[in-house]
Each structure stands twice: as C-alpha cells, then as structure tokens.
Amino acid sequence: MVPDELREPAAPLLPLFADRPQGGHHGTAPCDARTVFTAVVYALTSGCAWRHLPPTFGTSPATAHRRFTVGTGAGLWRRLHRAVLDELGARGEVDWTSVIVDAACVRAKRGDR
C-alpha cells in the first residue's frame, strides 16, 4: 500500500510506470501503473528482494524491477522527493531548522577536501 502522503505527489509521475510495448510477447496482461508503483514502493521500503515480491501485488518481480529502473533513470525518485517536500512545506509540516545530508542526495567530490 502506498502511504497516503505519497499518493497525490506521485500521481503526475505515474506515467513512468505505465505499460511499455511488449515487443511481440503476446498474452502478457498489462499492469496498472499504480499497482506497479505500489509494488516498487513496498520493495524499497520493506527491504524485500525483488525476486521475493509477493504475488498479491499483481505484478511480476521482473516488471516491478524494470519499471523501477526506468523511473530511476528518468529522475522519478528525486522528483517525487521534491514533490513530497513541496507539499509538506506548503502545509507547514517541514522543520527546515535542521537537515541531514548524505551521499544519497549529494554527490561527493573526488580529490578535493
């Protein structure tokens, strides 16, 4: 289940999780973008290995991982992070007096100290 606070900011980004042409593989049922997004968020937040993604999500682990990769390449997670911060900031729910920066959001320079 996607947390409620991600639903609205994620909505404009969901086309990144839309079906792609199957390239001749007939018989593969299309997967809803929200379904795949929910499965990806579950895998990322639970630590579940892609291959162990529960079938109850209604998408295959390969599809979820492939669309995660496409979304990552398109900057989805950075854009989603920004959208959530903007939404929470507009509601006054972000305390900007302290922040944490790590290598996940800031590129480390090589050789300069």
Per-residue HEC secondary structure of 26-75 comes to: CCCCCCCHHHHHHHHHHHHHHCCCHHHCCHHHCCCHHHHHHHHHHHHHCC
Question: Which amino acid does the sequence have at 93?
Answer: E
* pLDDT over 70 (residue 58): yes
% of the chain with per-residue pLDDT over 70: 69
The phi and psi torsions of 90 (rounded to 5 degrees) equal: -65, -30
pLDDT at residue 50 in the model? 94
Whole-number Å distance between alpha carbons of 95 and 19? 38
